[in-house]
Amino acid sequence: MKVAAVPAVAAPAASAPAPGARPSRVATHSHIKGLGLSPSGDALDQSAGFVGQRLAREACGVVVDLIKSRKFSGRALLLVGAPGTGKTALALAVAQELGAKVPFCPMVGSEVYSAEVKKTEVLAEAFRRAIGLRIKETKEVYEGELTELTPTEAENPLSSYGKTVSNVVIGLKTVKGTKQLRLDPSIYEAILKEKIVVGDVIYIEANTGAVKRVGRSDAYASSFDLESETYVPLPKGEVHKRKELVQDVTLGDLDNANARPQGGQDIMSIMSQLVKSQRTEVTEKLRREVNRVVKSYVDQGVAEVVPGVVFIDEVHMLDIECFTYLNSLLESPMAPTVILATNRGTSLVKGSIDIVSPHGIPNDLLDRCMIVKTEPYSRDEVSKVVQLRAGIEGLSLGEGVVAKLAGEGETASLRYVLQLLTPASIIASLQGRTEITLEDIGEMNDLFLDARTSAALMSASTPKP
């Protein structure tokens, strides 16, 4: 068993992480946690990170119910609305409402025009990446909250400099008790790589020594609602036990892995795969083969299919050939939920000579769509979203800043003001302040333009023919 063994050559020492806070990455939609609906399906004014946009959220809630009761197949959800009105956020929230670990595969319409791969192939691939497979395995593990992480250093036998870690002692706590383990230095490395600190709930697979972080122990939970951290309870039972592990992969992952069976898990082999990208290798035949194996797993009860969500933003960028293919994908038996978004009105369908239709989408596809409209935000709503984002980005806003940004959000767009926040905080910190003041916002407006102002400036300065 690898967990207990200590090899002759020890891994190099790394500095121990400071216990306590771990910086979390904040992405554009980090504050969105779901649709924020009440059990009866009404949109709560501010909930799950969503502010306003009530009708659209309620409509998406209905769609979630349809999907869950398997009455949405063959159809698609189409979100229409001006830029920055939360279409992408809604699509993400739908995926979140369908359950944790439901694959969400976003793409932009224009992605299909790649020189390398056929247009329809790009769509097919996105659909495969949006179908998850949950594989269950029972494994021997050590699980608990990390209470101690002490690397033991020894003189490096191979060189006269420096020290290496010869083993690491970790303490794991469960509801039942605590256990101290002396482990291989490679596990110490894995712990550092996963950025695990004392207070995290982890498990170590006994056979492979693989370390997984489950989440932060809820004893450390703060009182803030909006955080990207997941808190988990102290594990029950013994530290050393057999546990049912669940692994989530997508059909796309399986296709790729089987197209390049030589690939490994270490970073070098992943890098080499990036360079020699042989995307065209995944053939229809290979997909059928993967499907067959998957089906046998499902029949044996080892795996479960988790249909996810494909989100195609700027769907008006697709051409008639893609739309036809999309129709056929929608009909296929193992299709994920399809969400489309556009901010175009009536326009010419790309690739056609004279088909003009709403949103540049041919009628036969439009027919299958449930269309939901997003509304522009009021000043009050913008100010709530700004405060939410400031909270999640850990920024403090000075007097009048929220009101100023809200005003700008109303005239420019919500996205524009949200994007001002981080640079404004940099300007503030350059001047040695932690708080963003009105002057910082003023300076931002001198440095950057919103889209509308920029367009107006350009047309004013272009000489008329």
Spatial contact of 19 and 168, defined as CB atoms under 8 Å apart: no
How many residues contact Mg ion, by CB under 5 A?
3
Cβ-closest residue to Mg ion? 88
Contacted entry of ligand ATP, Mg ion, none for residue 51, CB cut-off 5 to 8 Å set by kind = ligand ATP
| Residue 81 vs 358, nearer CB to Mg ion | 81
| Residue 131 vs 417, nearer CB to ligand ATP | 417
Query: How is residue 110 written in tokens?
Result: 């224009």
The three-state secondary structure class of 221 is coil
Q: Is 250 in the site for Mg ion (CB under 5 A)?
A: no
Contacted entry of ligand ATP, Mg ion, none for residue 409, CB cut-off 5 to 8 Å set by kind = none
| Residue 163 vs 415, nearer CB to ligand ATP | 415
Distance CA 284, CA 340 (A): 25
**One character per residue 76-105, x = contact with Mg ion (rule: CB under 5 A):** -----------xx-----------------
Distance of closest approach, residue 49 Cβ to ligand ATP, in angstroms: 6
Residue with tokens 């494994």: 139
| Residue 342 vs 437, nearer CB to Mg ion | 342
Closest alpha carbon to 310 in 117, 174, 136, 132: 132
Closest alpha carbon to 166 in 315, 9, 23: 9
Closest alpha carbon to 365 in 24, 75, 9, 42: 75
Residue with tokens 């207990």: 4
Distance of closest approach, residue 88 Cβ to Mg ion, in angstroms: 3
Q: Is 167 in the site for Mg ion (CB under 5 A)?
A: no
Spatial contact of 213 and 162, defined as CB atoms under 8 Å apart: no
Distance of closest approach, residue 108 Cβ to ligand ATP, in angstroms: 9
Distance of closest approach, residue 226 Cβ to Mg ion, in angstroms: 21
Q: Is 374 in the site for Mg ion (CB under 5 A)?
A: no
The residue count for the chain:
465
Q: Is 342 in the site for Mg ion (CB under 5 A)?
A: no
| Residue 49 vs 252, nearer CB to ligand ATP | 49
Query: How is residue 95 written in tokens?
Result: 């995926």
Q: Which residues bind ligand ATP (CB under 6 A)?
A: 28-29, 32, 49-53, 81, 83-89, 313, 343, 385, 414-415, 418
Contacted entry of Mg ion, ligand ATP, none for residue 109, CB cut-off 5 to 8 Å set by kind = none
CB burial of 199-238 (b: ≥16 within 10 Å; e: otherwise) equals ebbbbbbbeebbbebbebbeeeeeeeeebeeeeeeebeeb
Beta bridge partners of 205: 141
Q: Is 413 in the site for Mg ion (CB under 5 A)?
A: no
Residues at the site binding Mg ion, with contacts judged by CB under 5 A: 87-88, 313
